Amino acid sequence: MNVTVDHLIQIIHRELSSHRIERFTMTDLIRLSKVTRGTVYNYFESIDDLYIAAFQRLIMDKATEDSDSFEDFIYELVTNISENKTFSLNFYRLTKMMHKRGFLINNLNKQLLRFNMKQDNDRIYVVSGFCFILINWFDADLRNDKDKIIEELNYYSQMIKE
């Protein structure tokens, strides 16, 4: 990515990692980043797009880079979320529900394809199961034990392998 996008993602990460945020707008981002509104909109259509780009790069991509199997990906994803709890919870709270679900479904499907997991209609239900577990974990403010979440997600991944 380019320097401006990197800078914007770092601003989002810094702000969303510091404390619980009820509202963070494009105007807040522009003020903190000292990047013009036009430049920000050149790269992102909305603040949701920027939240998603930041979460993608800082949580999902890191989990992907550090994994050699789907089970590794699950472990890395849950660990990254847990280690970046404030950022992850702010991402979850601030992003519109339709964007969250689509984002999770797309990323989980990419990983299933990456590791050549079974590809049929059952995968749709399994991905929905993954999303359900992750969304419930977020709804519980990530208080549930990360090892329990990993165990539940691995259970679903076994269903695809059978």
Residue at token pair 């770092």? 10
* Structure tokens, 76: 């890395």
Domain boundaries, the chain: 3-161
Q: Mind listing the pLDDT tens digit for each residue in 65-87? A: 989 999 999 999 999 999 999 99
CA distance 62 to 142: 19
CA distance 40 to 27: 10
Q: Mind listing the pLDDT tens digit for each residue in 25-78? A: 999 999 999 999 999 999 999 999 999 999 999 999 999 998 999 999 999 999
Domain 3-161: give its CATH architecture: Orthogonal Bundle (1.10)
pLDDT higher than threshold 60 for residue 1 = no
Cβ–Cβ contacts within 10 Å for residue 121, how many? 6
Instruction: Give the mean pLDDT of the chain.
Output: 89
CA 28 vs CA 3, 33, 34, 139, 144: distances in Å = 19, 8, 10, 26, 32
